[in-house]
Chain A
Amino acid sequence: MRIRLRPKKLNRSLGGNMVIFVLVALMSAFMLLPIVYTISTAFKPLSEIYVFPPHFFPHNPTTENFLQIGLLLEDFWIPFSRYVFNTILICSVVTFGHLFLSSLAAYPLARLNFTGRRLISSIVKLSLLFTPALMLIPQYIVMSEINIINTYWAFILPQVQSALGLYLMQNFMLQVPEAMLEAARIDGANEFQIYSKIVMPNIKPAWLTVMIFAFQTIWNSSGTTLSTTLVYDEKIKMISSLLSQVVAGGTARSGVGSVMGLILMIPPLVLFICCQNQVIETMSTSGMKD
């Protein structure tokens, strides 16, 4: 029998790998197109915005759009600092509130055997279907009954109770070995102490993931419906709502709009790049078994 070195991966051919690389590269070019175009347009002078055929990349890059946005922001009725304040307030309450409440609720669902556990778990799982957009009208009716329309709470509360974070936390917590929890129980720790001292320090990847998901949802929620239906007062809106105002100016404003887009895409991108491994680690436990 001929002995040969075992290839690193079985059943793979070089040709196949190359075809796949080209395919995936083309697809990711399509996915990245808006980002690349936003960056290139942000550096386009006004004179290049109305040329035919349009330049994909600016021939004479300029920073005039960045200066212009400063002037534009001064013209707004609400000072820009107010939008910044709102953004920081809303995003941090959502991110940390969601992390704390969902992990606190996930612990009993994952590790305690209480009455109604299966029922609650399956309701949570079912509610993963109901996207924020879908819930808008039903939530609007309830929110107007409890008088939180047009307050910070209208932004914050729906995101804090998002079911995805609870679901991911619950699944990830199953990985903590039961022996660790038992040992703590024997030492006299109560369940809250086990949650805070044993479980939470062992599931840091899930923290980061849940926080990133909550952050990116609230950060990107400039969506026209949310900001006009649930909150209509400019004084409590976030920076992202400025984007749609600027973009509404049409092609002439595309340079300035792209600068806004460029600024807005940096925080979620940087966060994800830094925590990609932790997010993937968390998602590996996301499967639904029953």
Chain B
Amino acid sequence: MPKFVSRPRKLSAKSAVNLTAYGMMAPYMILFLLLTVIPVVTAIGLSFTYFNMLETPKFIFLENYARMFLDDDVFPKVLKNTLLFALITGPVSYFISFLSAWLINEFPPMIRSFFTLAFYAPTLTGNLYFTWTYVFSGDRYGILNSILLNLGLVDAPIQWLSDPKTMMASLIVIQLWSSFGVSFLAFIAGFQNMDRSLSEAAAIDGVHNRWQELWYVTLPSMAPQLIFSAVQQIGACFSVGQIVQALSGFPTTNYAADTMLTYMLDVGTVRFEMGYASAIATFLFLMMVFVNFIITHLLKRFGTT
């Protein structure tokens, strides 16, 4: 073997691994930086400025945040709606998707597949939420109105999706319909992979019915799925907006059903007050990260006990 007089110093094993790893991750990570990390950081930065997309941002420190809470009649309304959507649709769809996955798991494979498809169908056919306009239509041809009129429960059709009184309730129902998503699939998968011998052992140890089995055996071993799904549901329930916008208008009557998300779009893309829109976005990010931190920690504690 010929001996080289001088050759480049061999990379240490660690930096060779680093080089390979970064090389392989680079294509994805460049896009991820560009469209996730930089946007979030930019939004936080711009939240302290006045920025209208044309002039350079002007630093105004906390003025946007002061305006949000002190000087904007709409913001408290959209904050309340956001929290209402989040507090109702988040936990409800989390528990229903968990419970229904648990119930579905009891059936033989064919029936199980059918129900899995049925519960996941709203996510698959995401475009179909427009159908709810026919159900909740404000004239007497709307399905709900016609049923109520026929039964004589109301004497005039209700404007389900445009009357501020009924808007939130109708939209919450529709949001719940669409909110099972990936977290439901994670639950289904978690139950299918449960170790059957655990529940058999528990039965010998004195677990008497399926509820006890759920509480003492199933739940603790599902902790990783519970955390993953919680993250998914927190993300979804704080960013309700698409359905509101499509079914009740943009903005809704008197902002009665608008959320922080739709208000942010209103401020940002209609009025081009990007600084203020970024402040709303930042506030929403902070709420979500905070809630996520609390919930995942609680679930982790639950998983280890």
Which residues of A line the B interface, CB within 8 A?
A: 9-13, 16-17, 20-21, 23-24, 27-28, 30-35, 37-38, 41, 49-54, 56, 101-102, 104-105, 107-109, 112-115, 117, 120, 123-131, 133-144, 146, 157-158, 160-161, 163-164, 166, 190-192, 195, 213, 216, 220, 222-225, 229, 240, 243-244, 247, 251, 254, 257-258, 261, 264-265, 268-269, 272-273, 276, 279-284, 286-289
Contact = CB atoms under 8 A, between A and B. Distances in A.
Interface of B: 14, 17-18, 20-22, 24-25, 27-29, 31-32, 34-40, 42-43, 46, 53, 96, 100, 103-104, 106-107, 113-135, 137, 139-143, 146-147, 149-150, 177, 180, 182, 185-186, 188-190, 192-193, 199-200, 203, 207-210, 212-213, 223-225, 227-228, 231-232, 234-236, 238-239, 241-242, 245-246, 250, 261, 264-265, 268-269, 274, 277-278, 281, 284-285, 288-289, 292, 296
A11 B213 contact: yes
Contacts of B265: 136-137, 225, 229
A284 B24 contact: no
A82 B121 CA distance: 28
A288 B296 contact: yes
B42 A138 contact: yes
A288 B186 CA distance: 11
A230 to B, nearest CB: 10
A126 B209 CA distance: 38
A266 to B, nearest CB: 9
Given A34-B128, A114-B21, A129-B234, A146 B34 contact: yes
Nearest to B27: A101
Nearest to B188: A280
Most buried by B among A17, A144, A225: A225
A10 B212 CA distance: 12
B264 A251 contact: no
Nearest to B128: A34
A240 B127 contact: yes
Majority DSSP secondary structure for residues of A touching B? helix
Contacts of A229: 265, 269
Contacts of A283: 182, 185-186, 188-190
8 contacts: A37-B134, A54-B146, A124-B32, A139-B35, A254-B134, A279-B185, A280-B189, A287-B228
Given A50-B141, A284-B189, A251 B134 contact: yes
Contacts of B114: 28
A134 B238 contact: yes
Given A276-B113, A288-B227, A52 B186 contact: no
Majority DSSP secondary structure for residues of B touching A? helix
Given A287-B227, A288-B227, A157 B35 contact: yes
Contacts of B137: 251
- Sort A-B residue pairs by CB-CB distance and give the 10 closest, nearest first: A287-B224, A138-B39, A220-B126, A28-B118, A108-B21, A105-B28, A283-B189, A114-B21, A284-B189, A34-B131
Contact of B24 (A21, A104, A269, A281): A104
A159 to B, nearest CB: 10
A265 B103 CA distance: 27
Nearest to B34: A142
Given A17-B106, A23-B103, A192-B20, 4 more contacts: A161-B35, A195-B24, A220-B127, A265-B124
Contact of A268 (B124, B242, B264, B269): B124
Nearest to A112: B21
B223 to A, nearest CB: 8
A41 B134 contact: yes
A163 B130 contact: no
A37 B127 contact: no
Given A11-B203, A12-B210, A134-B284, A247 B192 contact: no
Nearest to B114: A28
Most buried by B among A134, A139, A244: A134
Given A115-B14, A284-B193, A134 B182 contact: no
A136 to B, nearest CB: 7
A133 B241 contact: yes
Contact of A166 (B24, B28, B40, B193): B28
Contacts of B43: 137-138, 141
Nearest to A285: B189
A17 B105 CA distance: 11
Contacts of B212: 11
A244 B126 CA distance: 12
Contact of B242 (A124, A133, A166): A133
B264 to A, nearest CB: 6
A224 B250 contact: yes
A24 B115 contact: yes
Contact of B117 (A23, A251, A276): A276
A257 B134 CA distance: 11
A251 B140 CA distance: 11
A269 B124 contact: yes
Contact of A288 (B28, B224, B264, B284): B224
Contacts of B40: 130, 135, 138
B267 to A, nearest CB: 9
A146 B42 CA distance: 14
